[in-house]
Amino acid sequence: MKLFLYFLLLLWIPQIAVSQNYEKLRHNMVLHQIEARGIKHQPTLNAMRKVERHLFVPAPYQDRAYDDSPLPIGYGQTISQPFIVAMMTEMLEPKSTDRVLEIGTGSGYQAAVLAEIVNRVYTIEIVKELGEKTRKLLNKLGYDNIEVIIGDGYKGLAEKSPFDAIIVTAAVKAIPPPLLKQLKDGGKMIIPIGASSAVQNLVLVRKKGGKIYKTNLSKVRFVPFTRERSN
């Protein structure tokens, strides 16, 4: 019996060490990649210290989960660089009462960061298998304020609109009109816009008194926005 307990302990110790190591890497990520580059919004910083990014990337990439880069997540898609996630979250100025729409669920990491801050996140993914896999992960992690919808995000989610904020994490050529319509007056949208798939402008869109105001924030590289296959 005693021997068996020792054996269990031996199995357990490396796991604690690994998770403590990830926690240290995560705190360093926030300090050196995010705070050092000027992100100040405390709820965003807290969320990024909390959400275990390594759980959102495939096993072969887990030890690079806190690096300063995007990573492949399968299906030809990527999880965004941590700094980009932080910047997009901060620019939306999310509040605890907000309802947010995300287009491009991918790994679910951005949705999880937002869900730590806001009241509810609706996130749409066009790749069915990826959306289903991420839905399972988010359920397992206890995110009952995130709803993953499989479909073409171009149309948005009229039945749950208007949204306080909309975040698009795939590159569009132009803003899909349904998304503009579903943004609350006084709301904010952040979206990468560009004709080229190599580089786009990250644009902050604000709606005020029915008018639309756009500000270019920075150059970014996102995977392309795709449309539902008609066959």
Binding site for ligand SAH (CB under 6 A): 77-80, 103-104, 106-107, 109-110, 124-127, 130, 152-154, 169-170, 223, 225-227
**Residue 4 C-beta: closest distance to ligand SAH, Å:** 41
Pairing, β 200-208 against β 146-150: unpaired
Do 101 and 166 touch, CB atoms closer than 8 A? yes
80 classed as catalytic? yes
**Residue 167 C-beta: closest distance to ligand SAH, Å:** 8
CB atoms within 10 A of CB 213: 10
Give 81 or 119: the residue with its C-beta nearer to ligand SAH. Answer: 81
- Choosing from 19, 80, 96, 218, the catalytic residue is 80
**Residue 204 C-beta: closest distance to ligand SAH, Å:** 17
Residue nearest ligand SAH by beta-carbon distance: 106
Give 176 or 187: the residue with its C-beta nearer to ligand SAH. Answer: 176
Give 119 or 226: the residue with its C-beta nearer to ligand SAH. Answer: 226
**Residue 11 C-beta: closest distance to ligand SAH, Å:** 31
Give 17 or 199: the residue with its C-beta nearer to ligand SAH. Answer: 199
The residues carrying an active-site annotation are 80
